[in-house]
Chains A and B, each alone.
Chain A
């Protein structure tokens, strides 16, 4: 891990902690833990998405570090999202009935986002993609934006959650998506 990558990780951890403080990390009950892990997962995912556009406009050294950090942050997001589901879901569903996931939009959005993140995490390991014979991984990884949108909708609509965090996340995803679409029309810089 390069120095720049360490710096990126430090910045992301600081942002995650900031979100946690905004969500009330000091609270110790399961509800607060669910909020905290959900906020962390969304923050990590947004940080992962932000790496690509920033890498296009920064120095080659930082660019390499950002592209490397992007993958780690995405995998971390999937892991934290899975932890969030484990902590928060027992409040709403039991092993015997998964009906709320089918009937509640915000639970459903969270479940779809988690499924996408899990698929992306699995296909982020070259050895595993080789075994699974995954060739069209880029088409799959475009879904990271969909996962982020669904995650933001999930955060926005979840009762007793933070409307502000959800709105902020939605705005960030919109900006990142717009930048991504604009950059897709710009010829990529030649790699070193």
Chain B
């Protein structure tokens, strides 16, 4: 070799230095190379040998011998380095696409043991049946045509499976195809606390484990098994229970119950007969005399009063209320919201988030007071940061004339309305992200934590007196079921407020949409998406800019000032929890014949080109102007991640900019170009069939 290769020398030396330094990032590799280059450059300046008596093969052997040890040091670090540098993240998108493309595919790839689910299968065959893992019976799939099949799974009928992953079997005309799926068996989640009028009793529901806990003064807490999906409850002075179930339009009384005056469930509320309530119920509260009931609904966001001076009165809200509480006089109700405006304009501009308790007059439902809850303490060292009063989830009026507020975002209880604010740090006694709060006649403060599975009973001074653990505590899970502990951490991170006072739950209340539009860094504000049922749908956000859910943690760190306290990998934990959240139920009555017609219309209109079964999305990125050339907002150069149509019946508003309030409006008012499905020529019956099919998803 006549001319020594400085680049080869630099490379070999860089590998040696990187190995010695145990480089674990691209920065470390770059620094190793820079150091090697400096050394080689200095060597050349000082008189690099002009000739080296060695042949090329011999030089190659020498170089290989030099780098073999450093490379052995670096090689095992490569996966962690690629993870650290997030080089492998797009692979998740590719994996998700592969899982839903081709034949014998099923969506969603999540089996939840706590509720009925509907799966769609894409299979070429005439007879299809599915087994969603060991311990679950075979389920015959319903053929809808065009190689699409529907599978209705009810864990109470077909059985459940344990563990965090299952292998599902799709049998098509006798041929079996195995598919890997996530499995979820949620732990107990005690949420809302409802006290009897005399405050001697309180009840707490755990929807995930189908139980109600009754707490009575002077008695040990009692766990009561219920029907499927208890979402809320009420309790009378004599201990009679009214329990609302998500999956049944019925009122269920316990053995002692002989009277029925109040009932509320999804879509139904009654004082003396059924009254339809539009939208999913997010919170309820009854006056102490039992004559007035307030119901908060999600989409459209509204608060409705039943009883009282007028039989029914309703006002729209900007965003859904997370909680309702009467003030001690029953003259006002407080609603916990992230925004409130008199005209209830739902912001399709950039939406402002400010946690508050809006106090409304119970007679007129007009705003009488607006109490901003978020505030900062001396712990914060940046202007504008907050670390208190974020994420109000529970309200409770005390007999003393004050109101307890449970803050899920900042792990605290605050008593407002008294001579001086009083705050209790709930994380100190294992109650993270508290949702429910109440106070009994003997002064016992009751607080619940869904993500800890704990109901804590505090004395008058706010000290822990006792606790009811409906699920294993964190320490037990660490040794027995670490994945479930990660789900807990993820759920807490979802509700945890950043230092800007905003959490995931601020806009995605309990994982659903708030119906408003936000701009978290894109060029336009986009309607909030429902984040339930996300597993297997990478990429994420409207423009598909995030291949992995965990990477969205950087939005919290960059756009929302990070978190108050250090914790583990919030991104990975939140991702793990979100993956186990099943699609929201739609409660749409079935009409199989019309649905088959609707699927036929769906296919003829070209919808599967983008919304391909079984996920009803291709997970592809499309130029907005190609699909919506007549969109009223600027779309040049923008890409759109095709959303899944599963549970589309409850995901209004529609389209990427939220301009369609209903499914019908998508095609009637916003498809003049006929490019978002060829629907212009459809007659009324075909349109009705298409709507029926879409709602059945």
Contact = CB atoms under 8 A, between A and B. Distances in A.
A and B are partners in one complex rather than unrelated chains: yes
A103 to B, nearest CB: 7
Given A103-B557, A160-B545, A139 B90 contact: no
Given A23-B637, A27-B523, A160-B545, A136 B6 contact: yes
A105 B636 contact: no
Interface in A164-183: 164
Nearest to B83: A105
Contact of A163 (B6, B87, B544): B544
Interface string A105-118: 11011001001100
Contacts of B84: 105
A163 B545 contact: yes
Interface in B515-553: 521-523, 539, 541, 543-546
Contact of A109 (B7, B85, B636): B85
Contacts of B544: 163
Interface string B39-67: 01100110010000000000000000000
Nearest to B39: A136
A184 B57 CA distance: 16
A23 B499 CA distance: 33
B6 A135 contact: yes
A33 to B, nearest CB: 12
B587 interface: no
Contacts of A53: none
A164 B97 CA distance: 16
Contact of A135 (B27, B41, B557): B41
Nearest to A161: B545
A157 B30 contact: no
B590 interface: no
Nearest to A35: B637
A14 interface: no
Interface string B73-97: 0000000000011110110000000
B634 interface: yes
A60 B303 CA distance: 79
Interface residues of B, number: 40
A160 B37 contact: no
A160 B555 CA distance: 12
B672 interface: no
B26 A109 contact: yes
Contacts of B521: 159-160
A131 interface: no
Contact of A104 (B89, B90, B558, B621): B558
Interface string A64-106: 0000000000000000000000000000100000001001111
Contacts of B558: 92, 100, 104
A31 interface: yes
Assign chain A's interface to a size class: 35 or more
Interface string A32-58: 100000000000000000000000000
A162 interface: yes
B634 A27 contact: yes
A153 B541 CA distance: 19
B237 interface: no
B45 A135 contact: yes
B556 to A, nearest CB: 12
B44 A136 contact: yes
Contacts of B638: 24
A181 to B, nearest CB: 13
A26 interface: yes
A133 interface: yes
A138 B3 CA distance: 13
Contacts of B40: 136, 139
Contact of A134 (B11, B41, B639): B41
A156 interface: yes
A115 B639 CA distance: 30
Contacts of A139: 6-7, 9-11, 37, 40
Contacts of A8: none
Given A29-B523, A100-B558, A112-B26, A135 B48 contact: yes
B30 A116 contact: yes
A124 B93 CA distance: 40
A138 B522 CA distance: 41
Contacts of B656: none
B668 interface: no
A100 B521 CA distance: 15
B33 interface: yes
Contacts of B27: 108, 112
Interface in B6-47: 6-7, 9-11, 26-27, 30, 33, 37, 40-41, 44-45
A63 B9 CA distance: 28
B30 A115 contact: yes
A164 B11 CA distance: 32
B45 A164 contact: no
B87 A138 contact: no
B554 interface: yes
Contact of B523 (A32, A106, A109, A153): A32
20 contacts: A23-B637, A27-B523, A31-B523, A104-B558, A112-B30, A115-B30, A133-B45, A134-B41, A136-B41, A136-B44, A139-B6, A139-B10, A139-B40, A157-B86, A157-B89, A158-B545, A159-B541, A159-B546, A163-B539, A163-B639
Nearest 4 interchain pairs by C-beta: A24-B637, A135-B44, A139-B10, A139-B7
Given A103-B554, A159-B521, 4 more contacts: A100-B557, A135-B48, A160-B521, A163-B545
Interface of B: 6-7, 9-11, 26-27, 30, 33, 37, 40-41, 44-45, 48, 84-87, 89-90, 521-523, 539, 541, 543-546, 554-555, 557-558, 621, 634, 636-639
